[in-house]
Amino acid sequence: MIAEAKVRSEDLNLCFEKLMMVATGNSGEGVKMKGVVIPEWKNIPMELLLRIVSLVDDRTAIVASGVCSGWRDAIGLGLTQLSLSWCEKNMNNLVLSLAPKFTKLQTLILRQGNTQLEDNAIETIANFCHDLQDLDLSRSFKLSDCSLYALAHGYPNLTKFNISGCTSFSDEALVYVTNFCQKLKILNLCGCVKAATDRALQAIGRNCNMLQTLNLGWCENVGDLGVMSLAYGCPDLRCLDLCGCVRITAFYALRRDSCNDNLVNGQHLVPMVAYKPNFKIMHSYLNMDTVYLLTLSWLSYIFS
């Protein structure tokens, strides 16, 4: 027990020294705050602690949160951004451990190289982190619809959501999410073949009227009906990626003046690009004033 306590004390001192190096610019001197020198980690004010934590990497911030109950509470209430993308093993257990402590997170990046996250981690986040606005779950191959149902109730203020590469999600679950997360502005569904369907896009157009950016790359179940629903329901849509959406036969975009109630015949929807199955482009339908950005890399010869 004495040996463990000694090791624990040494670990705390090392953590403090690392944080102090950041705060003092590696000068090696004690931290000064309003004329007071802070020689030990036990004496550091919470305000200064949060300022220092904002300068270090996420791993160090996590270590610092385990120093003592005071540091844990301060960092837990003050930390608003966290990325665990560096974690190549045991990310799921790490999320289960951190979510109850970091309840004020607004940005959480859980992008994975190796598939690790499971539904219980997302459910835990949904139970504790209700302030989340930006969530990245890209390449979470193990997650099921249970995760989407959980986050729909847990993140009412979500504005940026990335589930690219999450091939297990269904369109039914995505529709459910749109009923609750109606503040979405940026949504990445690239590669979500099962989730991104015309039915899901109809729900997005109906519920997510603040949407500005949508990535539907390689979502081969998206068709004309879904894109038209976006055009009618998302007046602020500025960037749309339809790369690889092979079922679309005509593209539509909102006019920039679609908010004008005096539009002739109320026609807010205008064809931007229309093409036949043989890929002959009807240039007369192209009007770049009607859209901010449309990504169609698989039609690279469109203007040739």
Domain boundaries, the chain: 1-79, 80-299
Q: State mean pLDDT over 136-157.
A: 96
- Residue 267's φ and ψ, nearest 5 degrees, are -80, 95
Angle, alpha carbons 38-44-46 (nearest 5°): 150
H helix or E strand, kind and range, residue 127 = helix 119-128
What are 83-108's pLDDT values in tens digits? 999 999 999 999 999 999 999 999 99
User: b/e string for 210-219 if b means 16 or more Cβ within 10 A?
Assistant: ebbbbbbbbb
What are 167-197's pLDDT values in tens digits? 999 999 999 999 999 999 999 999 999 999 9
Q: How far apart are CA 206 and CA 221, in angstroms?
A: 19
Q: Which CATH number fits the domain 80-299, given the four candidates 2.60.120.620, 3.30.420.40, 3.80.10.10, 3.60.15.10?
A: 3.80.10.10
Task: Provide CB contacts within 8 A for 204, sequence distance 6+.
Answer: 178, 187, 211, 214, 229, 230, 233, 234
pTM score of the predicted model: 0.76
* Least confident range of 118-122, 148-152, 182-186, 235-239: 235-239
